[in-house]
Amino acid sequence: MREQELDELVNRVWVELLKQNPALDIRKEQAIADLAGGASELIHFPEQKRMGVEQPKNREALERAMARTPARIGIGRAGTRMKTQSYLQFRIDQAAAHDAVMKDISPAFLTKMGLPVLQTRSQDMQEYLMDLESGRKLCDESARWLEQHGDKQRDVQIVISDGLSTSAIEANIPDLLPSLQQGLALRNISSGKPVFVRRGRVWVQDHIASIVKCKVVISLIGERPGLATAESLSAYMIYQPNAQTVESDRTVISNIHRGGTPPIEAGAYLADLLAEILHCKASGVNYAKLRSR
């Protein structure tokens, strides 16, 4: 969030709060100074949703509805507008979604996970967002590195990519990746060393598979963030992709995050699924047809 936007947000919040308590006016300058200086006393927004509707006609029904969806229902209103806390939470979620797309993955994270870093042909985020093809192939330098150093002829190659959410990678991969690798090892399924692809699209897995000659490639990629969560991850799997590969050839598991399928559980499930794909020698629609027989 830009500094000007932050100042405007702070001022709007104080106007709303002053309507409720004029005595707060004397603290405004100090509060703004604290925000600018990183004060230790921060406003805490609990993760558990709070009902904002005063005296609902059917409280139990509203509570059940709120528990079943991350949508912003039951937040109440102040006149024709949402309440201050709801508005602030909306802006926080909006900023988190923006940051998930635009920020770079932490170098410390990549070092900790021991992931080699490859690069697609996208030179920057602007090109990645505007030109889909630029994220579907490795750049020449990364392709040469993978040809020289990648593990060849393995059953599975794991590809990790920021996609549209670096937050999803940093939140889920530390638990998901070890769970997935352990599950593959227990099934005697060989796997190549995982690689991280910066600014990668799903189809970059086809290019990688053509270089390392694996049987199955799985891409763990950040999903497009929303206001419910910016940390959702998807897993795309395909058996021996080639020039004729289409989207229906891919098996997809999505909504991997702490509020959906937890990453540890997802890792174990993906290992089972990869074992079945290898057994059936098919993925996507063809795999589903074989399973239904």
Q: Is 202 annotated as a binding residue?
A: yes
Q: How many CB atoms lie within 10 A of CB 167?
A: 24
Q: What single string gives the DSSP state of each residue in 146-191? A: HHHHSPPS-SEEEEEE-TT-HHHHHHHHHHHHHHHHHHHHHTT--E
3-state secondary structure of 252: strand
Distance separating alpha carbons of residues 221 and 192, to the nearest angstrom: 17
Main-chain dihedrals φ then ψ at residue 221, nearest 5 degrees: -135, 145
Q: Are β-strands 191-198 and 156-161 bridged in parallel, bridged antiparallel, or unpaired?
A: parallel
> Which segments within the chain are labelled E, that is strand?
117-119, 156-161, 191-198, 216-222, 233-239, 251-256
- Are β-strands 216-222 and 233-239 bridged in parallel, bridged antiparallel, or unpaired? antiparallel
β-strand partners of 191: 156
**Furthest-apart CA atoms within the chain: distance in Å:** 73
Give φ, ψ of 194 to 5 degrees: -60, 145
Structure tokens at 9: 């947000």
Q: At 224, is the secondary structure helix, strand, or coil?
A: coil
**Contact 127/134 with Cβ under 8 angstroms?**
yes
Asked whether residue 156 is marked as a ligand-binding residue, the answer is no
Across-strand partners of 192?
157
* Binding-site positions: 202, 223
* Binding-site positions for adenosylcob(III)alamin: 202, 223
